[in-house]
Amino acid sequence: MISPFGNRIERSSAALLVKDLIPCTKRNAIPHYKRNFVPFDSYFFMHTTSQEEDVAGTTSARGKRADAQRNLDRLLEAAMDVFAKSGVDAPVREIAERAGVGVGTFYRHFPQRADLIIAVMKSQIDACADAAPLLAAEHDAGEALARWMQRYVDFIVTKRGLSGALQSDSAAYAALPDYFYSRLRPALSGLLQAAVAQDVIRPGYEADELLRAVATLCKANPDEDTAATRKMVGLLVDGLRCRPGA
């Protein structure tokens, strides 16, 4: 057989050549030179859709994280209210119902009761520590110190059920005392240093000494008698002040 180029070829080779030269007419068949071809509009659609899906996925993930954080905040707030009323052994369902979430959501955040107690305790320690710079920005050094000491009284008196975790021998609570001092010690130290620098109180007092002193005064009074405790702590702070001519 003679090829289009004038040379003789074998029949088998000719068959291959004719197959390549004749346009494909078989239904649904795709010519070899188009098999990997993707129309521009299809590529653009696929690429754009992929980007939109990525954005939608990111937005959805952020929304889920925000919902999870709101649930966590509600659970911590509800737990504090329930613990104050019913103690730390209050039923899980009572806490979940007060927070407006299901029991399953509760256990996703806090698989063990100890996890909840630790989280509540840390959140309250953080709130007390964070109050120090806010008070320092709003009041003079002496007033800021006095107000923070009363804020610390609130922390101790309203957390009596939880504070047992600080003295607990349970391994679950082993890190809490260090967390307590790591947050409250520098908060009170900053207020003390500012008061000393302004000659409001006498130097020579350590934050740890005052933290323990206030805790001792709180233990000396019954739960409902916070007025007596506040009065005693006020006297303690007054005793630190500088006296003219002293």
Residue 162 lies in a domain: yes
Is 86 found in the same domain as 127?
A: no
Note if the pTM is more than 0.75. Answer: no
Contact 162, 120 (CB under 8 A): yes
CA distance 179 to 122: 8
CATH number at residue 60: 1.10.357.10
Q: What is the pLDDT of residue 60?
A: 56
Residue 151 lies in a domain: yes
Is 180 found in the same domain as 99?
A: no
Residue 96 lies in a domain: yes
Is 125 found in the same domain as 234?
A: yes
The answer for residues whose C-beta is within 8 angstroms of residue 64's C-beta and 6 or more apart is: none
Is 98 found in the same domain as 118?
A: no
CA distance 35 to 159: 73
Domain residue limits at 131: 113-240
Is 136 found in the same domain as 196?
A: yes
Domain total in the chain: 2
The single residue listed with the structure tokens 């923070």 is 148
The string of DSSP codes covering 4-49 is: TTS-B--HHHHHHHHHHHSPP-STT---GGGTT---HHHHHHHHHH
Where does a domain end: 109, 132, 155? 109
Is 235 found in the same domain as 119?
A: yes
pLDDT per residue of the chain (246 residues) written in tens, 0 to 9: 554 445 554 554 444 434 443 344 444 555 544 455 445 455 444 454 555 555 455 555 565 577 888 989 999 999 988 888 888 888 999 999 999 999 999 999 999 988 999 999 999 999 999 999 999 999 999 999 999 999 999 888 877 667 666 667 778 888 888 999 999 999 999 999 999 999 999 999 999 999 999 999 988 876 667 888 999 999 999 999 987 655
Residue 101's SS3 state is coil
Nearest to 67, CA basis, from 89, 40, 95, 100: 100
Residue 189 lies in a domain: yes
